[in-house]
Amino acid sequence: MLYFAYGSNMHVPQMARRAPNARPLGIGRLDHHRIFFTSDGYAAIRGRAGAQVWGVVWRIAARDVAVLDRYEGVDEGWYIKRVVPVRMATGTVSCLVYHGGDVREGLRPRRRYFHEAVLGSALAWNLPARYTAGFGRFARHGFRG
């Protein structure tokens, strides 16, 4: 199964702990979505015409999905699983993705989480500079903790 990570699950050490069988296939782009943050300060996405979310496509084992579901709080309604088309350099693939629950403009990310896991991973994966520069909008709102 393919999984599209756009937040802290782009972070290789974190995915090694959560889904030890996961293998990165490369970067991808999810069209018509935008990254936001939940009321708890974690990354989430929602549909947004014309917007894009960049991230990492992982090949994961079925048993890893159950573990990710627990981390993402699927049973508690924190995130909703969907299958979406993600564009990669080699073509479009269908990927599992976690859509956030309580997300809206202006919610603030956790400072360390944002800088290390989200922005740090985006830079490590060489996501497009134009995309990562857009993360400045989160800094303008300030950070939690």
String of DSSP letters for 71-111: HHTTTTTSEEEEEEEEEETTEEEEEEEEEESSB-TTPPPBH
CA atoms within 13 A on the CB side of 8: 21
Q: Tell me the pLDDT tens digit for each residue of 68-95.
A: 999 999 999 889 999 999 999 999 999 9
Contacts of 103 by beta carbon, 8 Å cutoff, 6+ apart: 36, 37, 38, 44, 45, 46
For the chain, the domain total comes to 1
pLDDT at position 127 is 97
Of 66, 45, 115, the closest CA to residue 135 belongs to 115
The residue to which tokens 């990354």 are assigned: 43
Q: Could you tell me which residues come within 8 angstroms of residue 125 by beta carbon, excluding any fewer than 6 positions away?
A: 10, 27, 56
The residue that leads in pLDDT, 106 or 68, is: 68
Cα(143)–Cα(124) distance, integer angstroms: 22
- CATH for 35: 3.10.490.10
Phi and psi angles of residue 62, each rounded to the nearest 5 degrees, phi first: -55, -40
What is the maximum span of the chain, computed from C-alpha positions, in angstroms? 40
% pLDDT > 90, the chain: 68
**Lookup: tokens for 22:** 């996961």
Cα-only R_g, the chain: 14
Q: What is the pTM of this model?
A: 0.92
Q: 41: domain range?
A: 2-141
